[in-house]
Structure 1
Amino acid sequence: MTDVVSTDVVHLLLSVRNGKTPPPAHVDDNLVPLSIEDAYRIQDEVAQHLGPIVGWKVGAQTPSSEPFCAPIHASTLFNDGATVPHGLCRHLGVEAEIAYRFAQALPPRERDWTRDEVMDRIGTIHPVIEILDTRFETPGSQHKFLHTADQQSHGALIVGPGVAEWRKYNPVVEHVRLSINDETVAEHVGGNSAGDPLRLLVWLANHASRRNLGIDAGSIVTTGSTTGTIFVDHGARVSASFPAIGSVHTILA
């Protein structure tokens, strides 16, 4: 991808965030990043305009496939019970997820972070709700590298209370319930396509290190949907519950 094309994509994504009309259903093929590395470079350029990074989203399509990720910024992070402002997201794709907060930093370094090192730096486990959004006209309408460049379609993250004894929980077999306006719309065990999300944290630690970003102490990392994406209207009341871990609630103004 040339610098000109990269700049064009960055400008497109930032202009929509600033109120411009999203591009049509299918953007020019010449704007599609040629590789996932190009998509991450665009992410980095966009992130410079979005304020402090306070967390990450990471996921994978299967238990063995290469994960993908995007930074989460302070302006899109909310605590349990918060009302997400009406103008923040154009699309409201609701997902129940499990997240981990790091008590200690994982800064960039030459050698890889080991699984034990990453696990030792986790402080708490949290129930969270992610809101899927896009700077394109329609969610999921573009090449996957364009959606990766668009902060992996992140809209907002609402974080529930943390539990320090996170090692007691096996996220693969945790029960989850997602409710919209007090009606249960998804309820089952597990559901994350990535399988064990802890492997995603190890991958992310080394991925962020190679991008010279690292993971700061206090960062929250959400590890992929356990319920799939359910699109709702503005004004919806949303609750996600993992009975063994806790619950999180929000109103989407």
Structure 2
Amino acid sequence: MSLALSNLLLAQHNAGTLIETLDENLVPKDRAEAYVVQSEVVAALGPIGAWKVQPYPADAEPLTSPIPASFVFPAGDAIALNTKAALLVEAEVAVTLKSDLPAFDGAYGPADVLAAIGTTQLAIEILAPRFANPAATPSLAGIADLQSNGAVIFGASRSFDDLAELGTLEMDLLVDGASIGKVTEGPTTERTLRSLAWLANHAVSRGTPLKAGDVIITGARIGALPLNGKTITITAPGFETITATLV
């Protein structure tokens, strides 16, 4: 690997231990370098199994990360995480592409991405930072750390075309049967499609264009919240309830 931080993070992934201190010389100098670390770590851990992208911010580009296939699970699975991290959980909406979005002489826009989306589903993201004190970790190092992704669980699919406006989607996140967060609104469909279009162009620039079958989580609608329990459930009108259990 070309960057020392890539080797350090990969070692933590493999050992399940946490980085107590980080030499300032290892902190990426900018987002581009942080994304190189992501790519090197994911390449070492196996193929890309999914992507995560932030809802489009008002004054900057979204943040993103590929997610290794070994971090991706179907709903209902019992999940064992090799980590000592204090886990966090998020409730999200995901989309699955039905068409490739390859490199071409131009840029993708929201309409292009909308035409490429096949289905949507609820998703649980578990955050498991490789740093012992994430709050004190430089933000660029956190981005390099796959944006703290530890696992993502996808629920049953439904047609994206039949989905109502995402901005008014109600969701409830439960841990061990008790609700820890509810929302009645969130990022709009338009804002979500803007982020997905940005991701399509960004993925091309990294040499890993999005393709049919790729699943993308579109940012936390509830969370990140401390995960103090074993069984995680998300409910939302129009979606099949999704559940995952940690062991």
Identify whether the pair has TM-score above 0.5, normalized to the shorter chain: yes
Matched to 1:19, the amino acid is A
Aligned to 1:36: 31
Answer with 6-15 or 189-198: which moved more: 189-198
Partner of 2:106: helix, strand, or coil? coil
Distance across 2 between alignment mates of 1:21 and 1:30: 21
Kindly indicate whether residue 218 of structure 2 is the aligned counterpart of residue 252 of structure 1: no
1:239 aligns with 2:233: yes
Q: Deviations over 1:140-195 (max 9, x none)?
A: 43111111111111110010011114453211110010001101111121245998
Measured in 2, the distance between the counterparts of 1:107 and 1:89 equals 38
Q: Match for residue 7 of structure 1?
A: 3
- In 2, the alpha carbon distance for the partners of 1:147 and 1:61 equals 19
Q: Out of 194, 197, 222, which is 1:199 matched to?
A: 194
Q: Using a 3 Å threshold, how does the CA distance of structure 1 residues 116 and 20 change in structure 2: closer, same or farther? A: closer
Write the distance in 1 (CA, Å) between the matches of 2:57 and 2:111: 23
d(CA) in 2 for partners of 1:48, 1:59 = 22
Structure 1 residues 213 and 207 mapped into 2: Cα distance closer, same or farther (>3 Å)?
Answer: same
**Partner Cα separation in structure 2 for residue 127 and residue 113 of structure 1:** 25
Q: Which AA in structure 1 matches 2:213?
A: G
Give how far 1:89 is off. 6.9
Moved more, 217-226 or 12-21: 12-21
* Structure 1 partner of 2:124: 129
Q: Which moved more, 1:165-174 or 1:210-219?
A: 165-174
Q: Deviations over 1:77-108 (max 9, x none)?
A: 11111111142673321110011000111122
Q: Distance in 1 between matches of 2:201 and 2:81?
A: 36
Count of residues paired in the alignment: 247
Between the aligned partners of 1:27 and 1:61, the Cα distance in structure 2 is: 30
C-alpha distance 166-91 of structure 1, shift in aligned 2 (>3 A): farther
> 1:219/1:91 Cα in 2 relative to 1: closer, same or farther (>3 Å)?
farther
| CA deviation string 1:46-101 (max 9, x = no partner) | 11101111210000473443101000121011111111114267332111001100
Distance 1:89 1:102 in 2: 34
Alignment-derived partner of residue 97 in structure 1: 92
Greater alpha carbon shift after TM alignment, 106-115 vs 223-232: 106-115
Contact persistence 1:94–1:131 (CA under 8 A): yes
Residue 224 of structure 1, CA deviation: 0.7
Who is 1:70 aligned against? 65
Percent of residue pairs bearing the same amino acid type: 32
Q: Is the 8 A contact 2:88 2:126 kept in 1?
A: yes
Aligned partners of 1:236 and 1:252 also within 8 Å: yes
Where structure 2 has 5 or more consecutive residues not aligned to the other structure, the ranges are none
User: Over residues 127-149 of structure 1, what are the superposed CA-to-partner deviations in whole Å (9 max), with x where a residue is unaligned?
Assistant: 11000111111334311111111
Q: Does 1:221 align with 2:219?
A: no
Is the 2:76–2:244 Cα contact (8 Å) retained in structure 1?
Answer: yes
